[in-house]
Structure formats: C-alpha cells, structure tokens
Structure 1
Amino acid sequence: MASQHSRCYSILSGPSSRTRPSGVTINNSLLETKSSQKCKLSQKRKTLPFPVSISGYLSPWPTYTTSQNILQNAKPCSDRHQKRTSSWQQEPFGIAKPRYLEQLENYLRKELLLVELSKDSAQELKLQPYREIFEFFIEDFKTYKPLLSSITHQRERIRALEPLKAKLVTVNEDCNERILAMRAEERYEISILKKEKMNLLKLIDKKNEEKISLQSEVSKLKKNLAEEYLHYLSERDARKILVADLNELRYQREDMSLAQSPGIWGEDPVKLTLALKMARQDLTQTQMELNTMKANFGDVVPRRDFEMQEKINRDLQEQLDSLRADYEEVRKEHELLLQLHMNTLKERDQFFSELQEIQRTSTPRPDWTKCEDVVAGGPERWQILAEGKNSDQLVDVLLEEIGEGLLREKDFFPGLGYGESIPPFLRFEGLVENKKPTKKDVVNLLKDAWKERLTEEQKERFSDFFFNFLEHRFGPSDAMAWAYTIFENIKLFHSSDIMSQFYAVLMGKRSESVYVNQKEIVAQLLKEMINADSQNEGMITMEQFSIILKSTFPFKKEEKILELMEAGGWHPNSNTTDLLTYRALFLEDEEGRNEPFVQRLWEQYVEEKDEYLQELKQELGIEFYSEVTLPRLRGALMSIDPSLDKQTLNTYISQAFQCPVSELPEEGDGKEDSMVVQLRVALERLQVIDIRRKGPREQEPAS
C-alpha cells in the first residue's frame, strides 16, 4: 500500500504537464505560483511517507465518523469552506482523514483557487483539476483501473458517435429525396404513357371511321354500276326495236310510192314480175344477211360507248387498286393497333390489379377537416391554406405548420460538425442559438441577400457569399446562429417560392442563373405591359395581354399561352376587350408567395426543361446508365435545337462534363472521343443550370 502512495505522490508531483483547453489564458504570475506549489507538494510527498491506515489496509473513513464531509464543489475561498476546514482541523487525531485523501483535497483546493484568481475562468477550466484527480485515482488504484478506465472510454465513444449520428440523419434525408424524385419521374412517365394511349385510341377511331366511309363508297359505286348496266341493256333493246320500226316504215313508204306512181301501170307485167321476183330474192338475201348480222353483232355496242365504258372501267379499277392498297395498309395498322390495344389491356389489367392491391393495403383517405382545430388560426385559416390543393400538397402544408411550431419551441440547434459533407456555412460544433424570426423577417432577409448578390461581381461561391452577408449584417458572433436559423426555415417552408428557390441555390441543386433569368423574364413582361399601357391607367386589354405573351415566348404552344392567360384572370367565355390590372399579377405576399400567374410561369419553365432533357435522352437513344461521348452529346443537342449558338452549346457541354469551356477540345479533335460521361449524370448536371430551347426543332424553309 505504501508503494501505491508513493506512485500517487509521483503523479501528483507533475500535474503541470496537463494541457488546458484552447482559448483560455492565465497570468504568468499565477502559473509560476501554481508550478512552485506543485513542486513543494511533490517534495513533501517524497519526504513524508505515511501509511494509509493504522491497520495497513485501506481506511474505512468516513465510516467511523459523522462529522467529516468530503470536499464539495464550493469555492475554496468562501467562508463556508473555511469553516469546514477549521472544523476538520479540530477533529481528534483518532478519526482523522487518510493522508492521501488530505493531499488530494489540498491539491484540488489550491488548483481551484488558482482558477478563481484568473480573469477568464471558463467552466471547462474549472473541471480540469477534477479530471486530474480522477486520473490519479485511475493510475494509483490498479485494482479498479479497468472499471474507471472503461467509464472514460465509454464517454469518449459517445462523443465520437455524435457526428456519425448527424451523418446518418443527412444520409436518410438524401435517400428520402431520391425516392421522392424517382416517384415523381415514374408518375411523369405514367402520364406520358396515358397520353399516348389516348392518342392511339383516337387514331383507331379515326381509321375505323375512314374504313366505314370507304366501304359505303364502294357499295355506292357497285350500285351505280349495276344501274348503268341495266340502263345500257334497255337502250340496246330499244335501239333494236327502233331500227326494226324504221325498216318497216321505209318498206311501207316504198310500196305506197310504187302503188301511187302513174308510170307503173304502163310497164310490162312480165318485167314487173321479174323485177318483183328479183326484189324478193334480194329481200330474202338481205333478210338473211340482216339475221346473220343480228346474230353476230346483236350485243355489240358503238365504239364511242365502248371506249367511254372502257375508260370508266379503267378509272374504277385504279380506284379499286388504290382502295385495296389503303385497305391493306389500314388492315396492317389495325392489326398493330389491335396488338397494341391488347398490350394496353394487359397493362391496364396489371395496373388495375396493382390499384386494387394498393387500395387493399393502403390507408383510407384522410379527413382533412380534422386539422381545422389543430392549425393556428382555426377553420378560417385552414380553409385559406387548403384551397385548391391536393392531398400531397396538404401534407406539405400540415408539415410546415407542425415544423413551424417545433422551430418555435427550439432554443438551440446542435452543430453539425466539420465534416466534408457539411456545407461551409454550417460547419460548427456545439449548440447554436435559435433566433426565432418570423416568416416575414426571413423573406425580407433573403430579398436583401439577393439584391446584394445581384449588385456585386459574382466571384465567390453562393454559400460563401451567404455567410459573408450574415457576418456583415449581424456581426461575426451571431452569423453562425443566423445561418442555422435561416437554413432550418428555408428547408422547412416549401410553399414560399423565394425560400424554396434560395434553398435549392444554396445547396447547389440549382444554379443561381436560373433565379436571375426568371426574374429578368418577369421584369421584361412587366415592362412590355407598361409600354402597352399608353394611358398609364394600370390596365390593358386581354388581347394586348395575349400579344405580349406570344411575343415574349415565341416558342410556347397555344395551350401554354392559354394557361398563362387563365392564370392571369382570363376565361374562355370572356371578351378580348376586357381589361386586366396587370400590376396585380406580379405581387408577392409577406411570406414570399407569388400570384398564380408567376407561379404558373415557373411551373411551365420546369416542365419545358424536363421535356427538353427528355427529347435529348430520346435523341441519344441509349440506356439511362450508359455512357455518352462528347461528339455524340453535341450532335444530339444540335439535332433537337438547331438554333443553339456555339457559346451556349459549349456552356451546356462544359456543365455536362464538369470541364471549363476553355479546356474543351475543338470539334474534330481526336481528344473528343476520350471524354465520356454517364447519361444519368449528364442529365442531372444539366438539370442544375438554366437550359431552355433557343429555337424550333426543325428549321423552317426560307421563303
């Protein structure tokens, strides 16, 4: 046991080697006093060996006494401490404390006195003497050293696991965002397939109608041909009857002329008999020839009629061949459409079964009226928040309301640490104060940040600019607290356009040029409307509104223009001469929400960007996870958008390959084929910047 005391004395002799926390300063005189006292203590320990107890074992003190107390966390210089010291000194020698405990208490008392005398006595510095005493116990009492060391080891492990817990939360949030993005992409593809299905069904109906009309036309032509055939047969029979009647009339006229001629009676009867006989022979021969001609050419038509009928027959044959070809083409298309229809039916049955399974396993539709009594503001405010929103949007609104209440209850935010995945403006360890601003304050602060960003030269990163802006506005001491407060607010409130866009730019999910260009387009629209308002009354007609939209967005489809007009207040039944208060279209409320016109304009921009990238993917014709070379990507961009200038094209390519424009190889250079990137990565990178169509898909021919 004496050896244990000697080891304790040796450890107590060198406490000056312990390191103090960074940022804490002590006067040189105090440090010198402390070091001299430690040296004296170490010398005293060496020169004054003593037993731990009378029996040679560990003393059971303070079991045998009730008047002694262990040193408390009291100030060493206080009166209470002095009273305890005096009372302890007055205790009889038989129940005195162990000498080792006295030495430790004296050392602790002196250390605390030195800390109290320093000007900057931090709480962490006050704990340092207790840490040293604890380390002395660990080193001297070998029997209990594993148990005491495990306590320290577990505390260090708990501290080491705190950044891992924060990282796990961040990874969980990223995975949730990816899942939501994949679900949105699946919903978008399903909507496209449904539209294609409806178009094909319309095409099938149209082809069926054309087939029915062609069949009716063929039946009508057959009927007309039969009528013409019967007409020509009746004409032929009538002609034969008419020729026979004409011959009979001619014979009768000749007989009458012979009977009435006065010179006949003077002729010779023999001669007349002979002439009659010859005439009868000629008549018989002529009758035979006539019968032969009738037998041979009774069904023959005139050449003119034959040629006319032959021409008609040839035209009908050509029409029949054309109809047969069309019918064969329609039949093949019908078979393809029928096969596609069968596949669509299978998909429909599959989707229907999946729908039934989802309906069976999913929860019932929520009753949103239950939220009226929970949301601050009562039923009136909930009706305003829920107006025109679907269930998914209502969930976002409810989450914002719940999150806003939780933010109000928090007084501090835990620091995220100094990891590489943490944004630079959030790198901090410890607790950060929650400034608890209102939505209006946050929106005004973000607007001021955008104004300052647009007026300065954009040389530094947006995240660095944001933190510098907070330091300039609130000072270096409160900048980190405001950074955490603003970050938590803009991450929560997705319904506010300015908050959601600022969060996307701050986290690198969207380029700040997207926000700047969108603001420029809105400003240009307002300028055009002001120019159209010649009387400066703040009103324009719906016709002027339509003309301004078409001139500002020449590549938008007609239905897109009508959507913007409806968002601005136009109705299909309204007149084009109706007046519109155009300045009200560009207003914002105090929480940063835009009017429906500006919101629809932003939604159309996002939809057009997705369509543009989808066209690029279809033009490349490769799998989503395949690699694409630089020349192939350049060719696909020029194919879907021939109006792209070289500078814009190089900007898109440099973003896709994450390469500066100045380092891009020239066209035709052999280094182009060596630059490859995965199609999925390229599309995600292009989604960040402001990418839009510069002209029509196909160049119009010059007039």
Structure 2
Amino acid sequence: ELSSPSPCRLQPQPSGVTMDDSFLTEDKSTQKHNLPQKRRTLVSDSVVLEPQIGQTILQNRKPCSDDYQMRAGSCQQHPFRTAKPRFLQKLENYLRKELLLLDMGTDSTEELRLQPYREIFEFFIEDFKTYKPLLSSIKNAYERMLAHQREKIRALEPLKAKLVTVNEECNERILAMRAEERHEISLLKKEKMNLLKLIDRKNKEKISLQSQVTKLRKNLAEEYLHYLCERDARKILIADLNELRYQREDMSLAQSPGISGEDPVKLTLALKMTQQDLTRTQMELNTMKANFRDIVPRRDFEMQEKTNKDLQEQLDSLRASYEEVCKEHKILMQLHMSTLKERDQFYSELQEIQRTSTPRPDWNKCEDVVARGPEHWKMLAEGKNSDQLVDVLLEEIGSGLLQEKDFFPGLGYGEAIPAFLRFDGLVENKKPTKKDVIKLLKDAWKERLAEEQPLWPSMVFRSRVLCSIALGPMFLNWAYIVFENIKFFHSNEVMSQFYAVLMGKWSENVYITQKETVAQLLKEMTNADSQNEGLLAMEQFSTILKSTFPLKTEEQIQELMEAGGWHPSSSNAELLNYRSLFMEDEEGQSEPFVQKLWEQYMNEKDEYLQQLKQELCIELHEEVTLPKLRGALMSIDPSLDKQTVNTYISQAFQLPESQLPEEGDEKEEGIVEILQTALERLQVIDIRRVGPQEPEPAS
C-alpha cells in the first residue's frame, strides 16, 4: 500500500466534490483497520494522507487555468468541511500521550519533551517516500542548529563563573572600604574626646587664673590702704617730733642766762622772723602734703608694677590660648557635623548594600564536589581567601573538564586567533597530567635559556617553544593541550608566567632577566660560602642582598630577609640554609624568597611607570611626543644610557631602533602616541631603574 497507492486516489476530483469529501470517503473505508502497534497504525494512516497532498499539489500547479478558476468558484459555493484525516488524528493522539507521560515525570527536561516531536517527524520522513530527502535535509539542518546552540551555551558557562568571581571581588572591596571607614571614624571619635578634655582643662585653668587675678587685685588694694595709713602715721609722727623739738628749744632759750641780757627789740624781731619762717615752712609742708598725699615708695611701686606686668602677660597668653581653643572647637564642630553626615550616608549605603548583597559562600560545601575528597580540599583551601579559593575551585573544575574532553574544537583562522591555534576541525586531547605539562614548559624554558643568540621576538619565541614541545603533525594537538591547561591553572607559577608570555602580556626578557637575577644571587651566596656547607650567617646574607640590589630600600631588604626565614628577634649570627631558598616543588612552585623577589620587581616596575606618568604631567588619554618622553625618562632616571632610552622609546612608539630620529631632530615632534597606550607597551618589557633616585630638594 505504501509503494503503490490506488490510481483512483490520484485522479482529479470533480468540481462539485472537494478534497476533504474524497478523504472522508476514503477514511470511512479504512476505519476497520485498528492496529495495536503505534508504528503500524501510523503507517497505515499515512497512505491516505500522502495521495491527497500530492493531489492538492497537482490541483494547484496552474492557478491561472480555467480548471483552477472553476474549482475556485465551486469552492466558494461548497466550503471545506472541518473533518481531519485519520493519520493526522493518530499522530496528534500519539503526541498527546507521549507529552502526558513526560509531564507525569518530575525530571522531564526540554530535551526529552522534544523527543516525541522527533519521532513524529521521523514517521513523516519514513512514510512519505516522495518527500523523504527534503524532510531529512530539514531535520538535519535543525539538528545541526540545535547542536550549535548547545555548544554556544556550553561556551557561555565560564562567563557565569567569572561573573560570580567579579561579584565576590566587589563585595570584598566594599567590606574593606567599610572596615577602613569604621577605623577612621573610631579614630576621629577618640581625637574628638581628647580635644574636648583639653578644652575642659583649659577652661579650668582659665577660671583658676581669673580667681588668682581677683585675689591679687584684692591684696593690692589692701596693701595700698596699709601704705596710706603708714604714710599718714609717719607724717603725724614727724609733726609731733618737730613740735617737741620746738618746745625743747623754747625751754632751752628760756632757761639760758644769756638771754635775759639781750635787747627785747632784737628778740622781738627774731621772733617775728622766726614766725614768718614757720609760716612759710608750714605752707611748704601743706603744699608737700597736698602734692604727695597719694605717692607710695618707689621700691613698692616697682614691685607692684612688675607683678602687674607678669599678670598682664599671663592674661594675654591665656586670652590667646582661649581664642585658639575656640577656633579649634569651631573646626572640630564643623568636622563633627561633616562626620555625622558621612556616617549617616555610610549607614544608608550599608543598609542598601545589606539589602541587595548576596550572602557569603560556605566553602565547606566544596568538600563533596572536589574529586579527591574533603582532605584534599582542606589542604587546598588552607590559608587562602575567597578570591584564591575561587581560583582553586575553578582549577579543580577545569582539570576535570579537560580530562573529560576527548577533542578540542578548532578556533578557526580569524585574525584574533593566535597563529599557533589557527585550525578548523577537531583536535585530539591526549589528556596529560598537570605535572607532564609543567615538565614540558620547564624543558622549553631550559632550551630557550640555553640559546646563545640574542633575544627573539616574542611571536617567534612563542611559536618555536610550542614547536619544541612536540614535533611533526602532533604540533596542533600539543598546542591546544598546552594552551587549554595553562589557561585554567592561574595559581601555578610556571603556567601563569608562560601564559603571560604566550599571550603577549610580558616580554620573554622579563622572565629571562628574573631567572638570571636569581642565578646571580645564588652564585654570590655560593662564593661567600667558603666551606661549601650551604650555610650563611644572617649578616652575610644581608650584605649580599645589599650588594646585589643596591637600589633597594632598607624595608625591601628586610622583607627579603624575613621571606628567607629571618626574624627581628633572632640574632645576626644565626645560620641560614641559603640553598633551600632557591628550590622548587614538583609543580614548579618557588619558595617565598623567590616569590618576594618577583613581587618586588613588579612593584618597582609599576612605581617607575607611575613616576614617569607624573613627570609627563598629562592625562592618560592625551598624546605624548617622542622628545617629551625621552626627557621624562632622563629626568626620573639620569643614569640611563642612550641605548636603553632608545630601547624604551622603540617599545613605546612601536618603531625599530634603526628608524628612531636623532635627539634634537625636528622629526621627533611629529611622532606622537597616546600616553595610556605607551605605558601599556612599556609594561610588557623589562623596564627598571638603573641609577639611584635623586632626593627631592628641601622646601
């Protein structure tokens, strides 16, 4: 029945009979077939539907013909009936049953709900032989599109994890800012309390001094009255003494025998003159009393004047102190009000953040997820913060994903794709261990360090290193394997450094120079160890560090010594096993001493570039000329030689050193670059201070 449909079904329908009428007639004749199996039922019903579809297509082939117009008119007179074909009803019933079974299950997904539709579509493909190629191509196209969408969804999963990491970093920064602000607020409160106590103390001193001034004034008034009384008593005493003296003289004159014999006229004249002298003397005495009634002795006046001057100076000093305290109090009140406003603002921000922030993660939940169990997770999580724990968890998940993948999809041939990864297709995953990849990278670096040629360009080095990992047609496999591994393991020192060089974030001479510095330091320590015991005194260790790194500060030397095992409480005669400072574990991780050297190097580079930016005195988005950059480099580091300056400028402006114009040439003014771009390019290479930094002139 499927291969040879009945001829009567292919004949055109009469003008008065529509397609649905014939189908109903056919459907009535086939109602006796009730197959128990769903496949057999769908096949039997498809016989009815396929000829009608072909017949409909044949009828609609020539819409402009007279036959078509007659059928159109008849269709307007006899509209189609609404009965469905039996095959369509069977398919709908089957789809409804399958969906009902899936809805009854609690774990049904969209992928499972799509399966009944696939089966119905396969029934169409298998049963309609005529349209099978077209339907198969449609089905394959949709399946390819679904597979492509699944790959895109899988590729977006790391972005979700990265979003969680960024959210965690923001939360940590917010918490750190809050802690710092709380600390500053507590310090300001303590300072406010101290200042309030100082104001109270000054006020008490002022009251005490005012009471002393009042008491001294009272004493001065009493002394003044006392001296007035003494003066009056002295004047009265002098008058009494004069009176007694006069009386005594009169008595002596009266008793003198020679007087009786003198002339009375003469005596009268003498008495008259004496009375005149007495009157004149009395007037002078009264004048003196009137003029010098309020006069005190000079010694007492000078003493009181000195005391008054001292009190006035104390009063002026207290008045100045009081005014200064008032000004400080006013400033503190303003600062207090601003602090209150900031506190209210921070409190509102804290409430908003508490309302919108996510809770802290419970890292103990990862014990059951990590492959090697809780003990392995505790060992990995020991002494790490949340950011580092996220990296550890991502590395564990990434290592598991790498082991599950059998193939890596090629990244294509786009310009943004690195040259060593340009491939279209599937690349086999050899699934090496982490130690194997680290050993390959260390061997590649050893081969690179053994080269006697000058430094290669970074792109040539990256390609050659990857070529040295595997030979022949296996290059692409190992290129993708190494790239995928170092992309996940950021906490590993060897992988992270190689990834930075591979992606162009660092130049290879940064790594090589750092290794040469560590080797030179080990050589200096070995030369100082005359007995070759592997031990050095702390004093020798400090001397070697200062001679090897003359530009480092005392704080940096002390940090290196502490990273090497020295403590401030230990003596300089204590011995140090210096060889253990340069050892590496099985995964290539260095000791804290070498890590501290690398950390100080990166900090010194950032500080050097920051000084260069400050010397240029322009914004990051503004342009900098070649002579201005040359002058800024020579200003912050006068010990730079011409070759080193040309190397830095060549990197900043991306020009070969042979094409750089001579210093002072007019063409230099035409070479410009954005400052931010120039600083980012200088960050890539090994840039450091050559000579000591000149001290700033005293203001």
In structure 2, what residue type is equivalent to 1:356?
A: Q
Count residues in correspondence.
Answer: 554
The equivalent position to 1:255 in structure 2, one of 237, 241, 264, is 241
Q: Superposed, which structure 2 residues align to 1:365-444 within 5 Å?
A: 365-444=360-439
Which is greater in Rg? Answer: 2
The CA distance in 1 between the partners of 2:353 and 2:369, in whole Å, is: 32
CA contact (8 A) 2:444 2:469 kept: no
The one-character-per-residue Cα deviations of 1:77-103 (angstroms, maximum 9, x if unpaired) are: xxxxxxxxxxxxxxxxxxxxxxxxxxx
Amino acid at match of 1:267: L
Pair 1:687 & 2:689 matched: no
Counterpart Cα distance in 2 of 1:687 and 1:150: 54
Q: 1:245 to 1:321 in 2, by over 3 A?
A: closer
Partner of 1:266: 252
Q: Cα distance, 1:574 vs. partner?
A: 4.7
Assess, with a 3 A threshold, how the Cα gap between structure 1 residues 642 and 299 changes in structure 2: closer, same or farther: farther
Structure 1 pair 562/500, CA: closer, same or farther in 2 (3 Å)? same
> Per the alignment, in what secondary structure is the counterpart of residue 424 of structure 2?
coil
SS at match of 1:432: strand
Relative to structure 1, the CA distance from residue 185 to residue 383 in structure 2 (aligned partners, 3 Å threshold; closer, same or farther) is: closer
For residues 237 and 517 of structure 1, what CA distance do their matches in structure 2 show?
A: 91
What letter is aligned with 2:252?
G
Q: Which amino acid aligns with 1:286?
A: L
Unmatched tracts of structure 2, length 5 or more: 1-129, 256-266
SS at match of 1:413: strand
Is the Cα contact below 8 Å between 1:471 and 1:478 reproduced in 2?
A: no
- Return the TM-score normalized by structure 2: 0.62
Question: Which residue in 2 is equivalent to 1:597?
Answer: 593
Query: 1:490 Cα shift?
Result: 1.5
Residue identity matched to 1:234: N
Work out whether 1:567 is the aligned partner of 2:571: no
Pick the aligned partner of 2:353 from 348, 352, 355.
355
**For each residue in 1:572-630, what CA deviation from the matched residue of structure 2 results, as whole angstroms up to 9, or x when unmatched?**
55555544333222221111112233333333443444455455556666555444444
Q: Is it true that 1:493 corresponds to 2:481 in the alignment?
A: no
Contact 1:417 1:428 in 2 (8 A): yes
1:381 to partner: Cα distance: 2.5
CA distance in 1, matches of 2:550, 2:642: 21
Which deviates more from structure 2 when the two are superposed, residues 544-553 or residues 648-657?
544-553
Distance 1:203 1:258 in 2: 83
Instruction: Provide the C-alpha distance between the structure 2 equivalents of 1:190 and 1:694, rounded to a whole number of angstroms.
Output: 40
Equivalent residue of 2:427, what SS?
strand
Structure 1 residues 195 and 615: alpha-carbon distance in aligned structure 2, compared to 1, 3 A threshold: farther
1:667 Cα deviation from its structure 2 partner: 5.6
Distance 1:182 1:365 in 2: 11
Pairing 1:521–2:517 present: yes
Q: Is the 8 A contact 2:440 2:469 kept in 1?
A: no
Shift of 1:263: 7.2
The Cα offsets for residues 238-284 of structure 1, whole Å up to 9 and x where unpaired, read as 37745864785694699399669997742359979986996687467
Residue by residue over 1:489-540, the C-alpha shift from the partner in whole angstroms, topping out at 9 and shown as x without a partner, is: 2112112101100110011011122222322333344345445556544334
Percent identity, aligned pairs only? 49
Which region of structure 1 is more displaced relative to structure 2, 388-397 or 437-446? 437-446
* Range 412-421 or range 620-629, more displaced: 620-629
2:353 partner letter: L
Q: In 1, distance between residues paired with 2:376 and 2:396?
A: 11
Indicate whether 1:227 and 2:212 are aligned: yes
Distance 1:214 1:331 in 2: 8
Tell me, in whole angstroms, the C-alpha distance in 2 between the residues paired with 1:183 and 1:230: 71
Equivalent residues of 1:490, 1:499 under 8 A apart:
yes
Structure 1 CA distance, aligned partners of 2:225 and 2:612? 78
Instruction: Tell me which residue corresponds to 2:503.
Output: 507
Q: Which moved further from structure 2: 547-556 or 597-606?
A: 547-556
Task: Give 2:591's aligned amino acid.
Answer: E
Q: Which residue of 2 aligns with 1:289?
A: 288
Cα 1:336–1:573 shift into 2, 3 Å: farther
**Alignment pair present for 1:446 and 2:434:** no
Task: Tell me the SS of whatever aligns to 1:583.
Answer: helix
Helix, strand or coil for the counterpart of 1:429? coil
Q: What SS is found at the alignment partner of 2:495?
A: helix
Evaluate the alpha carbon distance shift between residue 700 and residue 681 of structure 1 in structure 2; reply closer, same or farther with a 3 A threshold: closer
Q: Decide whether aligned partners of structure 1 residues 303 and 204 sit closer, same or farther in structure 2, where only a CA change above 3 A counts.
A: farther
Instruction: Quote the residue 2:29 is aligned against.
Output: none
Residues 439, 243 of structure 1: CA spacing in aligned structure 2 closer, same or farther, 3 A cutoff? same
Mapped to 1, the partners of 2:427 and 2:374 lie a distance apart of 36
Distance in 2 separating the partners of 1:259 and 1:443: 130
Name the amino acid aligned to 2:346. R
Deviations along 1:303-351, one digit per CA (max 9) or x if unpaired, are 68758966985797589669857975x5797588567646744662464
Residue identity matched to 1:402: I
State the 1:488 CA deviation: 1.8
Distance 1:492 1:473, change over 3 A: closer
Distance 1:389 1:314 in 2: 65
Please report how far the alpha carbon of residue 389 of structure 1 lies from its aligned counterpart in structure 2 after TM superposition: 0.6
Root mean square deviation, CA, Å: 5.4
Q: Structure 1 620/179 Cα, relative in aligned 2: closer, same or farther at 3 Å?
A: farther
Match in the other structure for 1:101? none
TM-score, scaled relative to structure 1:
0.61
Once the two structures are superposed, what CA deviation does each residue of 1:148-167 show, in whole Å capped at 9, x if it has no partner? Answer: 99789969x98xx98x9999
1:37 is aligned to none
Map 1:530-679; keep pairs closer than 5 Å.
Answer: 530=526, 533=529, 536-542=532-538, 545=541, 548-549=544-545, 560-571=556-567, 574-575=570-571, 577-614=573-610, 624-630=620-626, 633=629, 647-665=643-661, 669-679=665-675
Q: Secondary structure at the match of 1:267?
A: helix
Report deviation, 1:384: 1.9
Tell me the distance in 2 between the aligned counterparts of 1:448 and 1:315.
83
Distance verdict in 2 for CA 1:695–1:233, change over 3 Å: farther
SS of the residue corresponding to residue 292 of structure 2 reads: helix
Measured in 1, the distance between the counterparts of 2:191 and 2:444 equals 58
**What is the rounded CA distance, in whole Å, between the counterparts of 2:549 and 2:168 in structure 1?**
31
Q: Does structure 2 conserve the Cα–Cα contact (< 8 Å) formed by 1:375 and 1:401?
A: yes
1:479 to 475, 478, 492: 475
* Equivalent residue runs for 1:38-437 within 5 Å: 147=134, 213=198, 216=201, 220=205, 223-224=208-209, 227=212, 230-231=215-216, 234=219, 237-238=222-223, 241=226, 245=230, 248=233, 251=237, 255=241, 265-267=251-253, 282=281, 285-286=284-285, 289-295=288-294, 302=301, 306=305, 341=339, 344-345=342-343, 348-349=346-347, 351-359=349-357, 362=358, 364-437=359-432
Deviations 1:29-80 (A, max 9, x none): xxxxxxxxxxxxxxxxxxxxxxxxxxxxxxxxxxxxxxxxxxxxxxxxxxxx
> 2:370·2:396 contact (CA, 8 Å) conserved in 1?
yes
Give the Cα separation in 1 of the matches to 2:693 and 2:331: 28
For the Cα contact (< 8 Å) 1:200–1:337, is it kept in 2?
no
Instruction: Tell me the SS of whatever aligns to 1:419.
Output: coil
Structure 1 residues 401, 152: CA separation in 2 closer, same or farther (over 3 Å shift)? closer
Structure 1 residue 209, shift from structure 2 partner = 5.2
| Runs of at least 5 residues in structure 1 that lack an aligned partner in the other structure | 1-142
The code of the aligned residue for 2:223 comes to A
Q: Secondary structure at the match of 1:591?
A: coil
1:468 corresponds, among 464, 468, 472, to 464
Residue 491 of structure 1: SS of its match in structure 2?
helix
Three-state SS of the structure 1 residue aligned to 2:408 is: strand
